[in-house]
Structures are given as structure tokens and as C-alpha cells.
Amino acid sequence: MAAARKQNSYRIAVASGKGGTGKTTVALNLAAMFGEPVQLADCDVEEPNDNLFLRCEQLTPHEVTMLVPEVDPQRCNGCGACGELCQFRGIVSLGSRALVFPELCHGCGGCALVCPTGALTEHPHRIGTISVGQSGTIRLIEGRLEVGVSLVPPVIRAVRDQLLDDVPAILDAPPGTSCPVVATLRESDYLVLVTDPTPFGLHDLKLAVALAKELGLPCGVVVNRAGEDLVGLHSYCQAENLPILLSLPDDRQIAEVTSRGDLVALALPEYGLMFSELATKLKHELAKTGGTP
């Protein structure tokens, strides 16, 4: 749990209800201007984009596997206990030898536990890859789901398992508020919610705030493409006691730099300053909410 980690190992997650608000842009630029060595976990395993910008040199992929049962035909007596327990149709037995469907298995181990003849053994089954690399002061951990695999959370959990316990971490979350995001946010200390001042942005921000409350996570807001607040974003944040940690202007230059795969904080000095300030503010917020530093 969070308490067991060392003093300097706080985890900041960057998420948003809506896709495309700039989560990855914020996570990357924050990491670049963090002012000390930091880890960046790319938890958007369906579409991991962080390395497109960091272009780490050594990024060797390791397999992420999940334990999936295998049937020993000599021992299986077709009793059906495994199929009866399985909630996901990962294993089926209709009076005949049990059949396994690895793509539906959730890796719970239940079937092997109830098998009366010991006919089921569990074996690692590939669901994605994890790659670790270094780019300057940023240690990148990228999770990548295998195309066609539908179960996402186990790959995200594998990314989190690679986090070192004594270096601060920024977690780039997938969009939305459902199971992949929850898997990312578990054991985080602070949540940065990125939004834009549009009706879609505000609507989805509210969903994300509801999730943060459900998980008991303190959070703050970054407004991207900020301009005239025509949707009441500021009054909403005030009412919910959400600090607005940074407002990035609706500057076409940011879009252009990012579209090329570059970091605005490094390309344009005024933004470098803004992200440095964001880092400082976040460390301050963490001290307030009782997380480190």
C-alpha cells in the first residue's frame, strides 16, 4: 500500500474523463520539467504514445503474461466442476474433456482450485509487452496491449509492478473512468485531471471527479486550450474545491509542436516555465494532502 513506500516515492496520475484533452502532453512535459529524476508509466496500454515523444534508445520489450489453465487429458474425467465455476467462459466442460479459451480467461485460478483430479495446471499466456527505457532524467515504463486481446487491466497492473519504490512517478492514464483507469489509479497519491473548457470537457471532467471521490484520491485540474470560460468550468472547480494548477492557452503552436512529436516545454521556453511551476505546485499539494514530500 501507499504507506509502505519510501518517502520520495509518491505517485501522480494524470487522467481525464474525455479522450484527447492533453493527458499525455501534460504527463510528458511535466516529467521533462520535474526538476529531478522521475519515472513515467505509460498506462494507456491500448494506445501507448509516450515513447513517440521520448524516443528512448534501449526499449527492449518483455512479455506480459497471465496464468491460463492447461488440461491434462489423462487426468481429466469430464466432471465439469471447472466450467461450472468459471464466470468468464474461459474453461468449458460438457461431460467431455475440458476446453480452455485463453482469450476469455481472467486468470483467477479458480478452476485449478476446484479440479478434483489435478488435471489443470496454469501456464503463462502472452497478453502484451512492457518496455523500460531512459530518456534524460525520465525512466519510461511502457505497457502495450497485444492487438486483439480484450482484457486490459492485467497489462496495466504489470506496468505498475515495474515502478521503483524510491523514485517519484507520473502515471499517464487511459481515457475514461472505467476498469483500465481504475487499474492505473490504484495506489496513486494524487490525481491531475486534464480538461478543456468545452461542454464535452466539462461533462467528462465531472465523471472523472466522481471516480476520484469513489477512490478517495485528492485531485487538481489542468485546463488545456484555455480561453473564454463559456461553460462555467471555473465556478464548477471552485464549488468542488478543485485547485486549477495550470491553464495552457489555446495556442496553435502547442498543437503544431506536439503534432511533430516534440515537447512544448523544451521547444518554447515560456511553456517550459509553466510546466516547472506545475511540478512545484504538485509537490506542494502532495505535502498538503499528507502524501510525500
Partner 1 sequence: MNKIAFTTAGQELSAALDPRFGRAARFLIYDLQQKSIQVIENQQGRNAAQGAGIQAAETVVKAGIDTLVTGHCGPKAFKVLAAAGVQVFNCNAATVDEALHELLAGRLTAAENFDVEGHW
Partner 2 sequence: MSKEHIRELVVLSGKGGTGKTSVTASFALLANKAVLADCDVDAADLHLLLTPIVEQRHAFMSGHEAVIRQQDCSGCGICMDSCRFDAIRREGAVCRIDPVACEGCSVCYRLCPDKAIDFPERVCGEWMVSGTRCGPMVHAQLGVAAENSGKLVTTVREQAWAVAVDKRIPLIISDGPPGIGCPVIASLSGVSLALVVTEPTVSGLHDLQRVLALARHFSVPTAVCVNKWDINPQQTEKIEAAARSAGAAVTGRIRYDRSVTQAQLQQKAVVELDAGAGDDIRVIWKQVTELL
Please report which helix (H) or strand (E) contains residue 124, including its range. Answer: strand 120-135
Which range of residues in 69-77, 92-100, 107-115, 133-141 is near partner 2 by CB under 8 A?
107-115
- 10 Å Cβ neighbour count for 166? 9
| Alpha-carbon gap, residue 193 to 202, rounded angstroms | 11
* Residue among 42, 172, 204, 285 that touches partner 2 (CB under 8 A): 204
Q: Which does 198 bind (CB under 5 to 8 A by kind): partner 2, partner 1, none?
A: partner 2
* Residue among 178, 232, 269, 288 that touches partner 2 (CB under 8 A): 178
Direct distance between the N- and C-terminal alpha carbons of the chain, in angstroms, rounded to an integer:
17
Contacts with partner 1 in 13-32 (CB under 8 A)? none
* Residue among 148, 166, 239, 290 that touches partner 2 (CB under 8 A): 148
| Alpha-carbon gap, residue 159 to 174, rounded angstroms | 13
Residue 164, judged by CB atoms within 10 A of its CB (0-12, 13-18, 19+), counts as: middle
* Residue among 99, 114, 132, 182 that touches partner 1 (CB under 8 A): 99
- Residue whose CB is less far from partner 2, 166 or 260: 260
| Alpha-carbon gap, residue 29 to 186, rounded angstroms | 23
* Residue among 55, 62, 89, 213 that touches partner 1 (CB under 8 A): 89
- Residue whose CB is less far from partner 1, 103 or 161: 103
* 232's grid cell: 462555467
| Alpha-carbon gap, residue 18 to 202, rounded angstroms | 9
Residue 104 within binding range of partner 1, rule CB under 8 A: yes
Phi and psi angles of residue 170, each rounded to the nearest 5 degrees, phi first: -115, 130
* 258's grid cell: 506536439
CB of 61 to partner 2, least distance (A): 15
Residue 19 within binding range of partner 2, rule CB under 8 A: yes
Which range of residues in 26-34, 40-48, 83-91, 208-216 is near partner 1 by CB under 8 A?
83-91
Name the residue type at position 65.
T
CB of 189 to partner 1, least distance (A): 33
Strand duo 11-15 + 99-100: pairing: unpaired
User: Bridge-partner residues for 15, per DSSP?
Assistant: 193
Using an 8 Å Cβ cutoff, are 121 and 114 in contact?
no
Footprint of partner 1 (CB under 8 A): 83, 88-90, 92, 94-97, 99, 101, 103-104, 150
Chain residues that interact with partner 2, rule: CB under 8 A: 17-21, 24, 46-47, 49, 52-53, 85, 87-88, 106-110, 113-114, 145, 147-148, 150-152, 174-180, 182, 186, 198-200, 203-204, 207, 210-211, 214-215, 230-231, 252, 255-256, 258-261
